[in-house]
Amino acid sequence: MKPEELTQTIMKMCKDTQEGKLSWRIDVQTTEGNEKKYVVSEDGMDWTVDECYVSYLCKYRGQEFCLITYELIKTADKQVKTNNYVFLPPLGVRRFSLQTLLHHSIDADAMMVSQIHALWEVIMGLVKVKSPQVDFHITEASVSIEEDEKQP
Sequence-distant (6+) residues with CB within 8 A of 41 are: 47, 150
Q: Tell me, what's the pLDDT at 141?
A: 75
* Long-range interactions of 16-22: CB distance < 8 A, separation 24+: 16/60, 17/119, 17/122, 17/123, 17/126, 17/133, 18/122, 20/133, 22/58, 22/59, 22/60, 22/133
- Per-residue pLDDT of 15-70, as tens digits, reads 999 999 999 999 999 998 888 888 999 989 999 999 999 999 999 999 999 999 99
Q: How confident is the model at residue 144 (pLDDT cuts 50, 70, 90)?
A: low
**Which is nearest to 60 in space by CA: 26, 16, 11?**
16
Name the residue ranges covered by the structural domains of the chain: 3-31+55-71+87-140
What's the pTM? Answer: 0.87
Beta bridge partners of 26: 56, 136
